[in-house]
Chains A and B, each alone.
Chain A
Amino acid sequence: MSIVNVKQVKRSYQQGTHEVQALRGVDLSIEEGEFTVLMGASGSGKTTLLNIIGGLDTADSGSVEVDGNHFDKLSSGELSDIRLKRLGFVFQAYNLIPVLSAYENAEFVLLLQGMNAAERKERVMSTLKAVGLEGMEHRKPSELSGGQQQRVAVARAIAGRPALVLADEPTANLDSKTSNALIALMKDLNDQHNITFLFATHDPKVMNAAKRVVTMEDGSIISDESR
């Protein structure tokens, strides 16, 4: 069953006086449980496509259906609700809330979801353990290394048990060893919990772990390989 179904999506930006065609009619379908990588050079449109699938940006035309929801028919509040309950995000710059501890960052989504305190605690602790941050719950992002911060970001993304995790260049700021560990962690989460992952990256290590590699160029998909 498709969790993502994108048809003829176009998106352009105004950059100074001229218009940039970021997406030129993209079609993409992703099945539940896939571990897919969007590859391509900078400016190929992979981040734009990821943002549109995540409801962070809107397409100029075409249709976007995620987990059975047609985004073009939803209000910003309804989109927030889908992001909260069905999607998880991992960003290149971690984007943790600096005033919250690792525990609280991971807990944040569960609080928004309205989960009760006992269940929340159990979920956060098990998630932090799964990403290898046991014992570091009370550290603020500024007290963690880059790799540890990205682990917290992954914990935040998966704590709410999303159907789909969207990760934009999650390993770009990490060293090779930390990158490998993080990729292994996400692969494991994909295998164990059947969480669908969609990456935008040009890191070959991520590509090597992927079950499917979609390559983009100049706002179009030029190849789509399953492994």
Chain B
Amino acid sequence: MLVVKLALRNLRRNLRRTIITLLAISVGLVVMLLGLCLQYGSYEEMIDSGVSQIAGHVVVQKEGYQEEREPLMVLENTKELSKTLQEAFPNATITKRAFLGGLLTSPKGPAAANVIAVDPKTEGKISEFKGKLIKGEWIDDDPKSIVIGSNMAETLGVKIGQKIVFTAQYDDTEMKSHLFRVKGIFRMGSTEADSFIAYSNLAVVETILNKKDALHQVAVHLDDVHQSKQATSKSRGLISQSGLDVLSWNEALPDIEKMIQIDRQSNGLIHLVLAIIVAMGILNTMLMSVLERTKELGVLLAIGMKPMQLSIMVLLEGLFIGVFGSLLGLALGYAACYPLVTDGLDLTAQMGESYDAAGVTISAMLYGAYHWPSLIQYAVLAAIFSTLSAIYPAWRITKLKPVDAMRHH
């Protein structure tokens, strides 16, 4: 208790130095927390976009489709499968999708297209494309309805209500065509999405693949990405049908998972360098603080305080600076991140409305996210670094001879 009291008073004694050290820790932490906030915000954005555009939190596909992307590897008669998943996750949205590559043709000419055939109602609940319609409406039960990107509409020279033909050939027999009427035009702000993506009714699959009720993917969309793994293993237990792959979001979007991992590691390295710089600053402060009190520490030794007690006192000073600095940094970091979380960071001037990464269109309006486990981990690490910085000065004290220490000026 005595050493705790002394440690606290020593910090208060040179208040200006203590405040500067606290600020060094807290500002370092704020920079890290801001980075973390944007980092995790961008991860959430990437995952949400990927999940809603081409995957789900649980994805069921034909075995091997994930690797081969062979259009004829379809799921058939998926009613029972959808029903099982909906019963298992009553609040989730179950989507059905088929991914068809081919040519969309108008009187003006052709355009390469990735047509995503979907159930209009369920897809409409989770689709980011639906919210980006600039003309017309979202697809409906009409087998001819299709929404296309603004660049594609320009290439094809079509407007709402006009006809376009989708043509593809997947087996060795004959080329198949399906007639569409443009129901809506979207603009995502990404060249790839606006030039090549189209959403249509699932009816096109029967025409092109010559298979009834066929599709490539049944996906479960949950409220929280963190439920994905648990929901995936639950689904694996429920689906008895053989020849199917049941994947979590990161298995269905491995490129995004990889990007996040690489980004996390490179950011971790930057944060480590920052932490070392802050720790060196604290070490310098602690050394100065011990050095200028050498005489006083000698007196404490002379009147009977044990070297170990003095060392603990200095370690406690490091710990207190670390804890207070971390708490301050956490509070300031929370406040600094708040506008990023609520209002977002508008990068549209630099990047356009959105950008493409790993086959997914991601908004350039970046919202931050509080990732509490990381925030707390960094705050605890700052406190530990600060305490560790006091180890060397504390060790020096154990080597002090009272008479030499008291002679120190």
Contact = CB atoms under 8 A, between A and B. Distances in A.
B208 to A, nearest CB: 83
Nearest to B2: A111
Interface residues of B, number: 23
Interface stretch (A50-58, A131-139, A194-202): A50-58
Contacts of A85: 304
Contacts of A57: 401-403
A99 B402 CA distance: 20
B80 to A, nearest CB: 77
A100 interface: yes
Interface in B97-155: none
Given A51-B403, A56-B402, A57-B401, A112 B305 contact: yes
B13 interface: yes
Contact of B6 (A54, A81, A99): A99
Contact of A95 (B305, B308, B406): B406
A100 B2 CA distance: 11
21 contacts: A56-B401, A56-B406, A57-B401, A77-B306, A77-B307, A77-B308, A80-B304, A80-B307, A81-B304, A84-B303, A84-B305, A89-B302, A89-B303, A91-B406, A95-B296, A98-B13, A99-B6, A99-B9, A99-B13, A108-B303, A112-B304
Given A99-B12, A100-B9, A56 B303 contact: no
A98 B296 CA distance: 9
A188 to B, nearest CB: 22
B307 A97 contact: no
Contacts of B303: 83-84, 89, 108-109, 112, 156
B13 A80 contact: no
A76 interface: yes
The winner among A56, A80, A160 for most chain B CB atoms within 10 A is: A80
Contacts of A89: 302-303
Contact of A97 (B296, B309, B406): B296
B10 interface: yes
Contacts of B296: 95, 97-98
A84 B304 contact: yes
Interface in A12-61: 51, 54, 56-57
B403 A76 contact: no
Closest 6 CB pairs of A and B: A84-B304, A99-B9, A57-B403, A56-B402, A95-B299, A56-B403
B12 A97 contact: no
B8 to A, nearest CB: 9
Interface string B295-317: 11001111111111100000000
The winner among B295, B307, B308, B402 for most chain A CB atoms within 10 A is: B402
Contacts of A160: 304
Interface string A72-92: 000011001101110101010
A111 B4 CA distance: 13
A76 B10 CA distance: 25
A85 B295 CA distance: 22
Contacts of A156: 303
A160 B303 CA distance: 10
A54 B303 CA distance: 10
Contacts of A56: 302, 401-403, 406
